[in-house]
Structure 1
Amino acid sequence: MSPPMLRFLTGLTLLLMLSSVLSAQREPLRVGIAGLTHTHVHGIFNSEGRGDIEIVGIAEPNRALAQRYAEQYGFPMEMVYDDLESLIEARKPEAVTAFNSIYEHLAVVEACAPRGIHVMVEKPLAVSLDHARRMQALAETHGIHLLTNYETTWYPTNHRAYAMVQDSLVGEIRKVVIRDGHRGPKKIGVDPEFLEWLTDPVLNGGGAIIDFGCYGANLMTWLMEGRRPETVTAVTQQLQPQNNPKVDDEALIILTYSNAVAVIQASWNWTIGRKDMEIYGLDGVIYADNRSDLRLRIPEGYDGFEEKSMTLEDRPAPYDDAFSYLAAVIAGEVEVEPADLSALENNLTVVEILDAAVRSAQTGETVRLE
């Protein structure tokens, strides 16, 4: 192991040990849930047992849907309110997590920010650039944390790949290929309340281009240390009109930088579910094949290579769970840097990229960012 990597890992270990001690000493963060229509909400219910958060209330007007979750997770229906305002007034949460449509994220921040309540939304940050900028203004005016949660943020392979890039193990980045998606929401059998808005061009902002294009935009912005691309070019198709009649289900997004290019393949037409990334540097390539499996290839000759494979364990708390991380950020134990995967600044760039991608796909032209 190189000396820079050793120093990095030693410092990280000490930081994580300190964070673990501090988190064990504080009270659980009081969290409200805005909406139950996003099936990723299972994540916060499963996370509560870690002890970092306490779910104090839920805003969901669909009583039948709320009852279904109440029976599964054992919470009383008295915790469920018809709207977020009522929940906030009655339960006084310190933070709210949004598990409703992407269009509704703005309303969540409008309700929470003036009251000093922190917010974490599911990816992407917003349905449009206009919504994103309004959310940013509210968060900055009222001094709240506004974080965005992605499944891939907690993949140890992505963080090891990032560390390898920082340690110059593959040289300067020249190309990144990021693939995300599955067979399509209807084909994999998502819950009906999720399917209803996920395939709606207003409530979700688009189809696969938004649902899975955001992962690649988020990861690339992180790898590029927050730099915005110079151009965005996108092509979309609708290969399952019977399942996704209102939105695209296939998207290819190309980002260009002064010294690199990214190819984002976002699809509801993959034969298998996937979230993987390839990073091509001047001296080697990193394959983050999934959450746990990573490969490093160093070229030899024309088409030969030496490959090192590794299977990684989950990252230490609070860097292995969205809601533990949220609690640590609000407690001041973790500082969110602008380019970080959950950061507001990174995710404003993500929405800017998606906005440009949608416009590019509609017009057939490359969009140059100002």
Structure 2
Amino acid sequence: MVRCTFIFLFFCCAFTQLTNAQSSQKPLRVGIVGLVHDHVNGILNKAFKQGNQTDIEIVGIVESNRDVVERLSKRFGFPTSLVYPTLAEMLDKAKPEAVTDFGPIADHRKTVEGCAPRNIHVMVEKPLATTFADAKQMEMLAKKHKIQLLTNYETTWYGSNHKAYALANTEKSIGDLRKIVVHDGHEGPKEINVSSQFLSWLTDPATNGAGALFDFGCYGANLSTWLMHNQRPTSVFAVTQQIKPDIYPKVDDEATIILTYPKTQTIIQGSWNWPFGRKDMEVYGQTGYVKTIDGSQMRVRLKGEKTERTDQAVPTDAPATDPFAYYAKLLRGETKPDELTSLENNVIVVEILDAARQSAKTGKAVLLK
């Protein structure tokens, strides 16, 4: 009798563990808010083209532009029955656990206002908001309702950035930081043939916040804030230009931001005028430097070395290669939060961008309290 009871309990325990394991592997129920940001192609390709997804399941999409819905439905193969005209209807009927926002930056606040009270997590495309006031309101809602509010940057998933951070901060191989220089951008959104609906709001200061200043200045602000351990700069100074006013009459297409810290300076160069796309960074310390070339290649020179040497990062140096797989693992408690996507970092990023916009308008540095 004792033996039978033991066997019964053993199998009950084994069954429970198996059930729990299967439950933890259930795809995260995700809703997509907006289809007018071309970065949405990544999640649509993952969810509907690649097939056999175990980390996310798209359960609903919010988009009122039927032309966009029809075009992307044909391209990626998702059923139009997944599409709802409003956020509230999608949340009520599809019941996602989390959403990803691919609408204009100015609409991010509305998404958080709709999701946070329902305890639905939110990931937005960079930057977090168009104004510091919106960012603070979103932060308040996220904390009040205890949701994750993340900001997705392509450069978060670059192994080279994480290896550079390790050299600078974890290993302290280059000494105290003195200067950070970040270059981001491309030839221009129209020049690289982004979709018409993306171009429309990306080049409108009301919906995007600014032009290249926000579109690519946010990368440098995000990386600098990370390297500086979420320390806010003491001042922000920015210069913007309209080199191509015939193409971009409403917004800047060239931007330089200078951030000062007590013992460090950051120069952010965001541009729609580079001869080719680039996302690279230089980090200089008292005794050495590290330069990232792309997502994996680097150049390093440390104290005692006569010349710089090449180095290579691997995908595992980054928290994940896929932001949506990371999202699922984070919400399932299978990975730790990454500082680059964190709310704390990205509220500071918007404070920097808001100050940079003011500085470019007035021609004066903005001192942060």
TM-score of the two chains, using structure 2 as the length reference: 0.90
Q: Secondary structure at the match of 2:179?
A: strand
1:347 Cα deviation from its structure 2 partner: 0.2
- Is residue 152–residue 215 contact of structure 1 (8 Å, CA) maintained in 2? yes
- Counterpart selection for 1:102 from 101, 105, 118: 105
Match of residue 15 from structure 2? none
Separation in structure 1 between the aligned mates of residue 319 and residue 254 of structure 2, nearest angstrom: 34
CA contact (8 A) 2:24 2:332 kept: no
Checking the alignment, whether the CA contact within 8 Å between 1:154 and 1:315 is kept in structure 2 is no
Report the equivalent of 2:238: 234
Question: Which amino acid in the other structure matches residue 368 of structure 1?
Answer: L
1:124-182: per-residue Cα shift (whole Å, max 9, x none)?
00011111111111111111100000000000000000111120111111001000001
Q: What secondary structure, in the 3-state scheme, does the structure 1 residue paired with 2:191 have?
A: helix
Q: Provide the rounded CA distance (Å) in 2 between the counterparts of 1:70 and 1:23.
A: 31
Shift of 1:299: 5.7
Matches within 5 A, 1:1-370: 25-48=24-47, 49=51, 50-165=53-168, 166-298=170-302, 305-315=306-316, 319-336=320-337, 340-370=339-369
SS at match of 1:264: strand
- Tell me what 2:7 maps to: none
* Residues 1:281 and 1:316: Cα distance change in structure 2 (over 3 Å): closer
* Change beyond 3 A, Cα 1:111–1:25: closer
Instruction: State the Cα distance separating 1:47 from its structure 2 match.
Output: 3.1
Q: Secondary structure at the match of 1:130?
A: helix
- After TM superposition, the structure 1 stretch with the greater mean CA deviation from structure 2, 152-161 or 306-315, is 306-315
Q: Is the 8 A contact 1:174 1:281 kept in 2?
A: yes
Counterpart in 2 of 1:4? none
Aligned residues: 345
Further displaced range: 321-330 or 239-248: 321-330
- Indicate conservation of the 8 Å contact 1:29/1:327, yes or no: yes
- Note closer, same or farther for the CA distance 1:242–1:327 as it changes in structure 2 (3 Å cut): same
| Deviation (angstroms), 1:73 | 1.4
TM-score, normalising length from structure 1?
0.90
Deviates more, 1:185-194 or 1:310-319: 310-319
- What secondary structure sits across from 2:207 in the alignment? coil
Q: 1:105-140: CA deviations, max 9, x gaps?
A: 011001100111000000000011111111111111
Helix, strand or coil for the counterpart of 1:185?
coil
**In structure 2, what is the Cα distance between the partners aligned to 1:305 and 1:186?**
44
Q: Confirm or deny: 8 A CA contact 2:163 2:317 kept in the other structure.
A: no
Alpha-carbon offset, residue 333 of structure 1: 2.1
What do residues 261-309 of structure 1 show as CA deviations (whole Å, max 9, x unaligned)? 0000011111111000000011111010111111111366xxx833221
Q: Which moved more, 1:252-261 or 1:305-314?
A: 305-314
Which runs of structure 1 show a deviation greater than 6 angstroms over 4 or more consecutive aligned residues?
none
Q: Distance in 1 between matches of 2:22 and 2:319?
A: 9
Q: Percent identity?
A: 53
Q: Take 1:33 and 1:360, find their aligned partners in 2: how far apart are those partners?
A: 35
Structure 2 residues without counterparts, runs of 5 or longer? 1-20
- Kept in 1, the 8 Å contact 2:160–2:317? The answer is no
The 8 Å contact of residues 318 and 324 in structure 1, kept in 2 or not, is answered as no
Give me the whole-angstrom Cα distance separating, in 1, the residues matched to 2:167 and 2:312: 15
Q: Deviations over 1:163-210 (max 9, x none)?
A: 111201111110010000011111111100000000001000000000
1:24 shift after superposition: 9.6
C-alpha distance in 2, partners of 1:163/1:37? 36
Uncovered stretches (5+) of structure 1, i.e. residues with no partner: 1-21
Contact 2:190–2:199 (8 Å) recurs in 1: yes
Instruction: Give yes or no for contact 1:317–1:324 (8 Å, CA) kept in 2.
Output: no
Residue number in structure 2 paired with 1:15: none
Distance of 2:317 and 2:95 partners within structure 1: 30
Cα distance in 2 for residues equivalent to 1:234 and 1:317: 30
**Do the aligned partners of residues 316 and 365 (structure 1) sit closer, same or farther apart at CA in structure 2, a change above 3 Å counting?**
closer
Q: Distance in 2 between matches of 1:52 and 1:107?
A: 26
CA contact (8 A) 1:47 1:321 kept: no
Query: Computing the radius of gyration over CA atoms, which structure comes out larger, 1 or 2?
Result: 2
